[in-house]
């Protein structure tokens, strides 16, 4: 209905072939690309869809924001969810989550900068990122950033499987994306917001304070 194309990256070491992505333009999996690992093709494909006036829902399978809480003892604990679980039984700062977060910091910035370069100096005119689903499905934004969370019970046999699993979950929840969010943390430090600012895809400082929607598989 909204000409949406879902892109998902399973974040991991590029040098060790642990970064995979998937393009899913509809619920029908026969229309999806096969999982790929070339991050250059990932950037080029997203930029192409944006140039063709498609609305891109871009998910990263890594933590994109961390909670900022009043109680210091709570700072590194798992993010809370609507169902009382959120991140599950592990803190966001535990080994796997922390490693994915650190890897995603650089890969998100790199990707955003490559996309911006495809539009030259006009990037901020044509690329309008948001974490707000309502804004995205209106005419106010065309790049919706969301966090994919493929939990231990849902994980596939490979990184490429996880990219497809995340895309499949997004389409299964669509269009009720707001209601599907697994995390409810009102006060956050947005790492992906910082990446958008660093890459000059936005000038909105307020994005540093806004959480992403988290779609948990």
Spell out the residues 6+ positions from residue 49 whose beta carbon is closer than 8 angstroms to its own.
5, 7, 56
Q: Which helix (H) or strand (E) holds 23?
A: strand 20-24
Bigger pLDDT: 25 or 92?
Answer: 25
Question: For 62-76, 112-126, 165-179, which range has the lowest pLDDT when averaged over its residues?
Answer: 112-126
The answer to whether the CB of 181 falls within 8 A of the CB of 112 is: no
Quick: pLDDT tens for 120-133: 767 778 899 999 99
What is the overall mean pLDDT for the chain? 91
- pTM for this prediction: 0.93
Residues 76/82, Cβ–Cβ less than 8 Å: no
CA distance 41 to 20: 11
* pLDDT of the residue at 9: 97
pLDDT band for 154, please (50, 70, 90 cuts).
confident
What is the rounded CA–CA span in Å between residue 91 and residue 68?
A: 14
Average pLDDT on 57-80 reads 91
Lowest pLDDT segment from 18-32, 67-81, 92-106: 92-106
């Amino acid at each position: 209905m909204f000409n949406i194309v879902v892109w998902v990256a399973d974040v991991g070491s590029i040098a060790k072939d642990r970064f995979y992505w998937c393009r899913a333009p509809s619920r029908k999996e026969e229309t999806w690309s096969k999982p790929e690992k070339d991050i250059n093709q990932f950037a080029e494909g997203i930029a192409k869809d944006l140039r063709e006036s498609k609305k891109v829902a871009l998910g990263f399978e890594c933590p994109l924001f961390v909670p900022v809480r009043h109680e210091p003892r709570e700072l590194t604990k798992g993010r809370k969810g609507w169902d009382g679980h959120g991140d599950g039984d592990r803190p966001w700062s535990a080994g796997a989550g922390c490693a994915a977060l650190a890897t995603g910091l650089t890969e998100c910035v790199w990707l955003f900068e490559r996309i911006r370069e495809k539009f030259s100096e006009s990037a901020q005119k044509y690329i309008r990122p948001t974490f707000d689903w309502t804004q995205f499905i209106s005419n106010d934004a065309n790049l919706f950033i969301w966090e994919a969370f493929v939990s231990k019970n849902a994980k596939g046999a490979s990184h490429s499987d996880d990219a497809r699993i995340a895309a499949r979950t997004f389409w299964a929840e669509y269009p009720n994306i707001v209601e599907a969010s697994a995390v409810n943390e009102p006060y956050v430090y947005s790492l992906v917001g910082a990446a958008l600012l660093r890459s000059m895809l936005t000038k909105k400082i307020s994005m540093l304070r806004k959480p992403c929607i988290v779609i948990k598989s």
